[in-house]
Chain A
Amino acid sequence: MNGSPMTLWEQAQARGVSRRDFIRYCSWLAAAAGIEASAIGQVVQAMEKKPRLPVVWMHFQECTCCSESFIRSSHPVISEIVLDKISLDYTETLMAASGHQAEKSLQDTIKKYKGEYLMCVEGSIPTGDDGVYCCIGGKSAIDIVKEVAADAKAIIAWGNCATHGCVQAAKPNPTTATPVHKIITGKTIINVPGCPPIAEVMAGTIVHLLAFDRIPQLDGLNRPKAFYSRRIHDTCYRRPNYDAGLFVESFDDENARKGYCLYKMGCRGPVTYNSCAIMKWNNGVSYPIQSGHGCIGCSEKDFWDNGPFYQHLASFPGFGIETTADDIGVAVGAATVVGIAAHAVSTNIRKGKLIKSEIASSTEKEETSRKGGA
């Protein structure tokens, strides 16, 4: 294994993969990355010529559901990307090495492939109390992330933790859990939110980097446009029920059995950008709404704070847990009407006399002017 690392095509050949299968594989990768058919040639070329991409996959405050999602991707090709096609040089959960050896391999990778490695971050970084809430190998997560990010070719933030802070950043955020993009400034962070993100979305993002050597097109929140430009609601198969005004009123009603829209059950589909309704989960089997439960908006910022999940509007801060803006609006509206009524009554009590005298004087005036005119 001296000299430059093997390209993907060389590896494929070494493993006895036919050219036809290789092209098929590339097409599949392109499809997974949301690349149009005309650009498949570029993907093939990239796979033929490019060496494996060294990857450092960091784990901080997280539950590893992103990794779990990724390795369970529907197509075997996808898992090959991580385990074969990219060179996963450091990842706490999957690597064989442990302890000092593991930390050494991280140092080796970031030195040897300076400016070439891809940094993936799973989990948020606690910044409270000098970052003591998450330490690996004696170093705080915040120091590690800064060190590794400094020479990374590209940085991907996996999941809601790394992109928005997820549950650990929910109020009151005791550890000051912070997403990657707030710590690493001056570099574009590719945000791939979700709890976890869909495996094919994760793979697609990596494939794009592999094939084109550049960051995929990103939206205002730095999410790959290919996967996060549509709302779940706008791509949901239950959407016609929404437009028809057919809603589930409770989880055990007839409407729920008919598969009506879960809008009134607090479904976050209308405010959530993700590909769940298109790509679905677990080999395209289903996604939450298809299984009868509303979306909880796991790829959106602060989704834990916008609760309750089964309520269309969030509860209004500072009031009871189920008090919404509407309850407060109605109360303020009622108070206004009462105030106005009181005002009108008092105006009449005070002005009754005045008006009476006004009328008297104006009648007088009319009479005098008539007399004057005559």
Chain B
Amino acid sequence: MENTLIQRVYVWQLPVRLYHWVNAIAVVLLACTGYLIGHPFAIQSGTEAYENYWFGTVRFVHFVSAFIFFFNFIGRIYWGFVGNKYASWHNFIPTKKKQYEEMVDVLKVDILQGTIKPLESIGHNSLAGLTYFISFLAFLFQCITGFGMYAAMSTSMLPHLFSWIVPFMGGDFAVRQWHHIMMWFFIIFSIVHVYLVFYHDYVEGRGIISSMAGGWKFIEKEKNK
């Protein structure tokens, strides 16, 4: 086997990495607290209401995380226009034929487990990019439905920007139901996402796991065009 030179490429800029981890923490907090809000613990206590506030705290954490999640999301969209080529919105919305061809390749590698060959993309592969775009739509949906429900108990302007969703969907019940269903998208997305990152690192050895910490990925030199 001939000697391959490995080159490191600075792929994920600091704002992208920050976004990723803030988002990850927010999603975990939101899913956990959200699940609890739907299914509170059964506490058979003899205490009076004024002695406790745990459920209020759970909801508070959910709302604070939601605001962080929302502004973090906005920040990422902004960075999709001003960041480097790996952060650009072009990675998420496939417009080129090449991107679709790569999706087929990715499916071959990931699902059919065909021959492993290094993919063209250095940043997101195009299937991952499309998946993230779908997840952005899910983010948007959660933001709209979440703030739509929150608007009823808020006087601030932001949640009221989304209050139209309640009459649109036919009432709070429907909004809550869909907000809850969408939580499962996040849970399943997280499972698959984490697995695939490990899988790709495992079979490609390009340092995809550590890239979200340091920003560097490693590629074969001749692939670096």
Binding site for B on A (CB under 8 A): 220-221, 230-231, 234, 240-247, 249, 253-255, 263-264, 268, 270-273, 297, 300-303, 306, 312-314, 325-326, 328-329, 332-333, 336-337, 340, 343-344, 346-347, 350-351, 354, 361, 364-365, 368-369
Contact present for A297 and B173 (CB under 8 Å):
yes
Contact present for A314 and B173 (CB under 8 Å):
yes
Chain B residue nearest to A325 (CB atoms) is B181
Contact present for A264 and B40 (CB under 8 Å):
yes
Mark interface residues in B95-135 (1 if CB within 8 Å of A CB, else 0). 00000000000000000010010000000000000000000
Contact present for B152 and A365 (CB under 8 Å):
no
Instruction: State how many angstroms separate the Cβ of B37 from the closest Cβ of chain A.
Output: 10
Chain A residue nearest to B165 (CB atoms) is A220
Supply 7 further A-B pairs (C-beta < 8 A) apart from A244-B51, A301-B171.
A220-B163, A231-B152, A244-B55, A245-B41, A245-B58, A340-B191, A351-B116
Contact present for B49 and A244 (CB under 8 Å):
yes
Q: Complex Cα distance A244/B45, Å? A: 11
Residues in A with CB closer than 8 Å to B202 are 347, 351
Chain B residue nearest to A268 (CB atoms) is B173
Chain A residue nearest to B152 (CB atoms) is A231
Contact present for B180 and A313 (CB under 8 Å):
yes
Chain A residue nearest to B198 (CB atoms) is A344
Q: Complex Cα distance A141/B172, Å? A: 30
Most buried by B among A221, A245, A329: A245
> Which 6 pairs of residues, A with B, have the shortest CB-CB distance?
A245-B55, A329-B184, A271-B172, A244-B52, A243-B56, A240-B49
Residues in A with CB closer than 8 Å to B188 are 329, 332-333, 336
Residues in B with CB closer than 8 Å to A369 are 3
B1 at the binding interface (Cβ < 8 Å): yes
Residues in A with CB closer than 8 Å to B195 are 340, 343-344
Residues in B with CB closer than 8 Å to A302 are 170-171, 173-174
Mark interface residues in B22-45 (1 if CB within 8 Å of A CB, else 0). 000000000000000011111111
Residues in A with CB closer than 8 Å to B55 are 242-245
